[in-house]
Structure 1
Amino acid sequence: MKKVVHLTSVHARKDIRILLKETSSLAKAGFDVSLIVADGFGDDIVNNVKIIDIGTAKHRFDRILNTTKKVFSKAMSLDADIYHFHDPELISTGLKLKKAGKKVVFDSHEDFASDLLTKTYIPRFLRMAMSTSFKVFDSYACKKFDSIITATPAIAELYNARGCKTVVINNYPIIDELSIPPTEKENSACFVGAQTPIRGVKELVNAIDKLDGKLYLAGPVVNESFKTELSNAEGWNRVTDLGIIPRNEVAEILGKCKVGLVTYLPAPNHIDAQPNKLFEYMSVGLPVVASHFPLWKQIVEDNYCGICVDPANPDEIAKAIKFIFDNPDEAKKMGENGIKAINDIYNWSVEEAKLVSFYNEMLND
């Protein structure tokens, strides 16, 4: 049985793409799969994936300086046939594994160079320099790896331009993974994900203030100052802030809402992204209100499963939500179209087959 090790120093052990999709699919296909994490919750086995915990870091810089070394040491001790890492800060670890003669894959979930330009914890005057420096380093390193897996075609284009071997494994949902219970629908909308300014959460709060309805937020708040800003917004009295909740409770919220929201503000790393939550809303038959980026319009409007809006305009967001609240027949049609699009096109089973085929090709190379 061929041995595979996935590595992350940043992501949660139950990250949907890493655990529920990629590693679980590989284990199901007959690979011996381990997942190295750094969260302090101990070892475990999930879906025949062996989760190996090397312990949590004290802070971000401790993680970058020391946790990455622990990841490399543990990875080498497992002596796998393929190493598959998920974080830009593990690129140096990947290079060391290559130097040791291992087959190494970098899974690029996002355009990290562009994402650095929006990181609020980095002083604004440093962001461009850090983004450019990372791009130069990444361009050098990516050619050393056996392949780059990307979460979107747009990221693949960036790596293809650098002369890297790439394969796109889209972050599409697992059909029926979110099974929503039969529940009476409310005049409510939901946003599932991290609550950050760049994801347009304040605009959603301002939009719900204009409606006779409720907004559910399910996900971590980026920082206390933003939480204070949200709680002082006029629509906050219509918000139910659930924080981080398990997947079964996410399904319950999706079941009672009439609209799923994904109105990220325009940022270099958003415009060509394919947010997991967009497809999850569609998979459970929830009409979507999404940002009017060209790619998102192609997914949402071409399949008539929702409405695309200017994400910076609360009035436009509110108008779209109200249309869905007030037109149940159209909402039902949008929901059915979303499910059909997931079943026909945007589903993990297609990507799973691509991933397993890619691994077999690597092993036979």
Structure 2
Amino acid sequence: MSDSTGKGSLLILVQNLPLPHDRRVWQESLALRDAGYTVSVISPLPPNVNHEYELLEGIHLYRYPPPPVTLTKLDFFKEFYYCWQQTRRLVKRVWRERKFDAIQTCNPPDTFWLIAKMYKFRGVKFVFDQHDLCPEVYEAKYGKKGLLHKALLWLEKMTYRTADRVIATNESYRRVANQRGKAPLERIAIVRSGPSKAAFVPCAPKPELKRGFDFLGVYLGVMGPQDGVDYLIRAIKILVHDIGYKRAGFALIGKGDELENLKALSDELNLGEFVKFTGRISDEELIEYFSTADVGLAPDPPNPLNNVSTMNKIIEYMAIGLPIVSFDLQESRYSAQEAAVYVPGSDERKFAEAIRDLMEDEPKRREMSQFGRKRFEEVLSWEHNWPNLVRLYDDLLGHGSAQGK
């Protein structure tokens, strides 16, 4: 064991977001620290930080300068190569400084199995934390399959094949890991991405956030091609200009590749008075918006990716007690159950009508709010999921009832 004072040393690799901004990976790191493991994480640097190493709340953070913004497919491959090489360099540094007993890779991308495999020859265990189904992301984004889609399937297969354990975010991802990836069910653990109860506590409403409207609808999340914010904006246009319902304003919280296009679409549809794009905001401001809003919006349309993905926004709406309007997706229905109204297909007019109907039905909103908050506290919060993560590592490294293999 590389750490004689505890259970061992773990290394986590994440490229998608810097630490501690990646909430899921940060929560995992803290849970494993509290369970007695030494935890190191490699990620890009967050904005306004320029030191490569930092010890933050007992977590050893190794971070590299982020690559330039990608504008072309060539830029995408340059970014991939840059991040992979920077990560590999820092893995070598961590190995020199404290060794590690297990390495956990968080996708995207599905390429870090190559690094993990190098260290498996030294007795290091490999855990794959699957945040996304990369082949489905590609299909949802580009609307096709083709050669690159096949390459993504191969990379995913090699990751499953190399991993000693797989972490899935929901039952659908677990099924993919087992059926497509041939990972044995006993080596797959479900660790959902809900926030902690302490992080999402309602506050007093701030009426000024409604900007003079009777009601407020909020969207939280990434604004990319597959996230459905364009569906939401068109639904708001139908609500305001076609149906003539003008009692509600909307706050769209977040950023993404499509943000400027979405702003242009909102202007084109004459929604400037009704729709506010906030950009990224602080956690404190987010709680204020959620505590003031009347309805949370989940416009992710049905597609091979969204149908099997857990939408973090839905769990976060429920944490504050926001009733939800959502397209009818398999995992969204599992998460929210009676806390949401489900719109079939991707029907924008029905989505608009569902918003109006829920805004005008206070008793139903109250009932949905109470159900959602209770389900979050009893099933979906991080407090109900981190034990699965710790149990996986304890079993893998020989600290649990089952010995790691």
Q: Which residue of 1 aligns with 2:92?
A: 76
For 2:196, give the aligned amino acid.
Answer: I
Q: Which residue of 2 aligns with 1:85?
A: 105
For 2:45, give the aligned amino acid.
Answer: D
Give the 3 Å change call, closer, same or farther, for CA 55–295 of structure 1 in structure 2. Answer: closer
Q: Which residue of 2 aligns with 1:114?
A: 136
Q: Which residue of 1 aligns with 2:319?
A: 283
Deviation at 1:360, TM superposition (A): 0.9
**Structure 2 residue 29 is matched with structure 1 residue 23:** yes
Q: Within 2, Cα distance between the matches of 1:104 and 1:323?
A: 49
Query: SS of 1:56's equivalent?
Result: coil
Q: How does 1:1-365 map to 2 (within 5 A)?
A: 1=6, 2-13=8-19, 14-19=21-26, 21-39=27-45, 41=49, 42=51, 43-58=53-68, 59=70, 60-78=76-94, 79-87=99-107, 88-120=110-142, 127-161=145-179, 162-164=181-183, 165-183=187-205, 186=210, 187-209=215-237, 210=239, 211=245, 212-223=247-258, 224-301=260-337, 304-310=338-344, 312-364=346-398, 365=404
Give the 3 Å change call, closer, same or farther, for CA 44–181 of structure 1 in structure 2. Answer: farther
For 1:163, give the aligned amino acid.
Answer: K
Deviation at 1:298, TM superposition (A): 4.0
Structure 2 residue ranges without an equivalent (≥5) = 1-5, 71-75, 240-244, 399-403
Deviation at 1:314, TM superposition (A): 2.5
1:317-356 deviation digits (Å, cap 9, x = unpaired): 2222222221212111110000111122222112111111
Deviation at 1:147, TM superposition (A): 1.2
1:31-83 deviation digits (Å, cap 9, x = unpaired): 21121111363344443222211222235333311321221232233211111
Contact 1:192–1:277 under 8 Å retained in 2: yes
Contact 1:289–1:317 under 8 Å retained in 2: yes
Query: SS of 1:339's equivalent?
Result: helix
Q: Identity of counterpart residues, as a percentage?
A: 18
Contact 2:39–2:59 under 8 Å retained in 1: yes
Q: Within 1, Cα distance between the matches of 2:188 and 2:367?
A: 37
Give the 3 Å change call, closer, same or farther, for CA 246–113 of structure 1 in structure 2. Answer: same
For 2:64, give the aligned amino acid.
Answer: I
Give the 3 Å change call, closer, same or farther, for CA 160–236 of structure 1 in structure 2. Answer: same
Q: Within 2, Cα distance between the matches of 1:144 and 1:89?
A: 11
| More divergent stretch after superposition (251-260 vs 75-84) | 75-84
Deviation at 1:6, TM superposition (A): 0.9
Q: Within 2, Cα distance between the matches of 1:229 and 1:345?
A: 38
Q: Within 1, Cα distance between the matches of 2:257 and 2:248?
A: 25
Q: Within 2, Cα distance between the matches of 1:332 and 1:174?
A: 23
TM-score by length of 2: 0.82
Give the 3 Å change call, closer, same or farther, for CA 141–272 of structure 1 in structure 2. Answer: closer
Give the 3 Å change call, closer, same or farther, for CA 236–96 of structure 1 in structure 2. Answer: farther
For 1:80, give the aligned amino acid.
Answer: F
Query: SS of 2:306's equivalent?
Result: coil
Contact 1:83–1:105 under 8 Å retained in 2: yes
The structure with the largest alpha-carbon Rg is 2
Query: SS of 1:4's equivalent?
Result: strand
Deviation at 1:96, TM superposition (A): 2.6
Query: SS of 1:251's equivalent?
Result: helix
Aligned length: 358
TM-score by length of 1: 0.91
1:297-324 deviation digits (Å, cap 9, x = unpaired): 34434xx212111363232122222222
| More divergent stretch after superposition (263-272 vs 152-161) | 152-161
Deviation at 1:156, TM superposition (A): 1.4
| More divergent stretch after superposition (34-43 vs 355-364) | 34-43
1:220-239 deviation digits (Å, cap 9, x = unpaired): 03143444234323334311
Contact 1:118–1:267 under 8 Å retained in 2: yes
Query: SS of 1:237's equivalent?
Result: coil
For 1:356, give the aligned amino acid.
Answer: V
Query: SS of 2:366's equivalent?
Result: helix
Contact 1:199–1:265 under 8 Å retained in 2: yes
